[in-house]
Amino acid sequence: LRARLGAAVATVLALALLMVVGGARPAVVKAAVAYSGLGGPIAQSVRRGIDFDHDGFSPVLGGGDCDDLDASVHPGAREIPDDGIDQNCVGGDATTAARPVDDVGFVAPPASLPPDFDVVLITIDTLRADHLGTYGYGRDTSPRLDALAAEGALFVNGWAHAPSTRYSMPAILTGRLPLDVYYDYGVSGWPGILPKATTIAEILRDRGLHTGAVVNYHYFDPYRHMDQGIDPGDYDNSNARLHQGSDPAHTKGSSSREQTDHAIKWLDTLGGQRFFLWVHYYDPHHEYERHREVPQFGDAPMDLYDNEIRWTDSQIGRLFDDLKRRGVWDKTIVVVTGDHGEGFGEHDVTHHGYHLYAAQTKVPFIIKVPGQPPRRITTPVGHVDILPTLADLAGAAPSTEMMGRSLVDLLDGSAPPDRDRVIFQQLSYENHHEMRAAVDQRCHLIYNVSPHTSWEAYRIDVDPAEVHDVSDQPGPCDTVKAAFARWYDGDQIPPGAAEALLPARPTVARELDVDLGREVRLLGVALPAEIQAGATFDVTWTFEARGKLDDGWKVFAHFEQVGGRGRFTGDHEPARPFA
């Protein structure tokens, strides 16, 4: 016993020494955590002990804190541009010029597109790209989707921006990155979509298409407003009853047959009207069911998952057959994607939801545009590209709200492949579970922000399974990391920041110096001395921010008429400063 205890103590000390000495090398810490069984607790203990500013982040052993004497500086901190401080420890101090200006890339729709085109959007839950035949899978899981890819455009590098439905579906529907969607947090459970968001259905309805949706999970209940833009009475979530289970990670039941049945019935009601139809297929989601109507692959979890894919594929094929029977197939744009993937032990991860690895986020991406020849497109694309692509094809105007770009120039062959295009990913959960990522054609870079800060990089062009972490090695991933740093900083800068932020304390005509809590002081208010009834006028507020502001802080301004003169009264509710 004494010998064993001595060996254990020696092991602990050796690991601690190894990690402290090799603390500058992330690979050392990762190896200790992964293989020792003790490295994780040791690293956590050392990080907790070396955190002088008590912000929860350490400068050693992957803690990531780039200034351990300033609690406002740490991984994930809110970046303040142009102040000479790198608050989030990525890419140096941000500048207002770093805020990205999105090029939505609209071009003229191809001449081959019929003016009376229809649109079908198919989203498939939990479908990873590398389990379809068209992406090189050895099993015959997807003959109908393979045939669609052979007729349309197959995007080889299609990515979800997040690994779960709650983040991916809003990104698909609104064309905004998951953490930039206009969410309604006033609903119970997962957030919904606010009316200020613009959806695919709204855009296409405004272009004259009758809009409908056939969905099948309680997440899509109307109170979350996923039906925004769907014509009244044409949003069908009745098949949600077929998937039972209080834990969203483990639901039982099957609905693919019923989804196609309901979609066909909805098409029967149109009477020849142009349409946009969104159908969501849920069956590949765990728990996996066995479908004896289609080929069997075995009894292991992956075998049953593949069987679910084959069953779903057969039911999607029935919908395609119905469109052909109606004579509208040749004038219908068809978009197919998975909302996220599924893990089967890669990186010791099963299922999905909490990681950004390719197994969880690389998804099928197929678009058929009438009259266009088949294409195999290598340019990386993401879910936020679907809305601008459909808007462009429909002749709608581009919008600064769109965070993706139109793919029409790739679909019609007028643009060359762009291997350097970078797709960004976001993940944020409770308890400081934060990840961000960037991926181009060659490299997938993952930044684990918290709770344990680290970088990972995988050469997906030669290592598609993401087995070998090359974050410590120079190469193509350096270019992706530079692009990531620009995006990561720029994404934190709100619109209008360049105009609103002042480089120095200004001189105001009438000083007020009113404290609005500890972090914000109102320096002054400028407004006209005389205001005529019915006239418009400009008011300028000048604030000084003295610290980090929590989300949700607001200032309310009230104007009162006193003796025929306008008087400004400032108030704040709740009693906290402006954000």
- Encode pLDDT of 243-263 as tens digits: 887 677 778 888 999 999 999
| Shared-domain flag, residues 43 and 125 | no
pLDDT of residue 568 exceeding 60: no
The pLDDT of 51-60, averaged and rounded, is 78
| Same domain, residue pair 147 and 6 | no
Output the pLDDT for position 567. Answer: 47
- Say if 110 falls within a structural domain: no
Q: Give residue-wise pLDDT tens across range 366-423.
A: 999 999 999 999 999 999 999 999 999 999 999 999 999 999 999 999 999 999 999 9
223, pLDDT greater than 70: yes
At residue 83, the pLDDT reads 77
Token pair of 75 as six digits:
């991984």
**Around Cβ 277, how many Cβ atoms within 10 Å?**
25
Residue 28 corresponds to which amino acid? V
Where is the domain boundary, 366, 393, 419? 419
Q: Examine residue 358 and state whether it is found in any structural domain, yes or no.
A: yes
Closest CA to 309 of 384, 364, 244, 368: 364
Integer Cα distance of 9 and 32 in angstroms: 15
Number of folded domains that form the chain? 3
**Pick the residue with more confidence: 482 or 83?**
482
Residues 153 and 298 in one domain: yes
Domain that holds residue 557: 502-571
What number is the average pLDDT over the span 277-303? 95
Average pLDDT of the residues in 441-446: 97
Structural domain includes residue 175? yes
> Could you give the percent of the chain with pLDDT greater than 70?
81
In a domain, 533, yes or no: yes
Closest CA to 90 of 430, 434, 384, 470: 434
DSSP-assigned letters across all residues of 178-227: GGGS-EETTSSSS-EE-TTS--HHHHHHHTT-EEEEE--SGGG-GGG-TT
Q: What CATH number did the domain enclosing 338 receive?
A: 3.40.720.10
φ and ψ at residue 343, rounded to 5 degrees: -95, 145
In the chain, the amino acid numbered 9 is: V
* 210-214 and 423-429 beta bridge pairing: unpaired
User: Of the candidates 366, 362, 384, which has an alpha carbon nearest to the alpha carbon of residue 200?
Assistant: 384
| pLDDT tens track for 506-555 | 777 777 778 877 778 888 888 777 777 667 777 777 887 776 666 666 66
547 occurs within a structural domain: yes
Confidence of residue 496 (pLDDT cuts 50, 70, 90): low
Strands 153-155 and 365-368: antiparallel
Task: Give the torsion sign (CA, 77, 79, 85, 91).
Answer: positive
Q: Which one is predicted more confidently, 200 or 66?
A: 200
Q: Is residue 36 part of a domain?
A: yes
State whether 20 and 124 are in the same domain. no
What gap in Å lies between CA 446 and CA 419, rounded to an integer?
A: 18
Mean pLDDT, residues 276-299 taken together: 95
Q: According to the per-residue pLDDT averaged within each range, which of 230-244, 297-311, 418-432 is highest? A: 297-311
Question: Are 406 and 532 in the same domain?
Answer: no
Question: Are 310 and 174 members of one domain?
Answer: yes
410 in the same domain as 516: no
* Residues 280 and 371 reside in one and the same domain: yes
**What is the percent of the chain where pLDDT is above 90?**
56
**476 within domain boundaries:** no
Quote the CA–CA distance of 334 and 130 in Å, as a whole number: 20
Report the largest interatomic distance among the alpha carbons of the chain, rounded to a whole angstrom.
91
Q: Which pair of structure tokens corresponds to residue 286?
A: 């765990």
Q: Is residue 436 pLDDT above 70, yes or no?
A: yes
State residue 36's pLDDT score. 44
Which of 362, 396, 419 is at the close of a domain?
419
Question: What's the chain's average pLDDT?
Answer: 85
**pLDDT tier at 98, thresholds 50, 70, 90:** low
- Residue 272 sits in the same domain as residue 371: yes
Tell which of 419, 447, 466 closes a domain. 419
Pairing of β 350-351 and β 183-184: unpaired
**d(C-alpha 569, C-alpha 557), whole Å:** 6
Give the pair of three-digit tokens for residue 105.
């890339």
Same domain, residue pair 122 and 33: no
pLDDT of residue 101: 59
For 567, other C-beta atoms within 10 Å of its C-beta total 12
Residue 141 maps to a domain: yes
Q: Looking at beta carbons, which pairs linking 561-569 to residues 24 or more positions away fall under 8 Å?
A: 565/529, 565/530, 565/531, 566/527, 566/528, 566/530, 566/531, 566/537, 568/525, 568/527, 568/539
- The answer to whether the peptide bond before residue 528 is cis (omega within 30 degrees of 0) is no
Residues 33 and 122 in one domain: no
Supply φ then ψ for residue 246, to 5 degrees.
-75, -25
Tell me the sheet residues that pair with 540: 526
Question: In sequence order, what are the residues at sequence separation of 6 or more whose Cβ sits closer than 8 angstroms to the Cβ of residue 555?
Answer: 516, 541, 570, 571, 572, 577, 578
Q: What pLDDT is stored for residue 576 in this prediction?
A: 33
Measured distance CA(375)–CA(172) in Å, rounded: 22
Same domain, 223 and 367: yes
Contact of 484 with 444, CB cutoff 8 Å: no
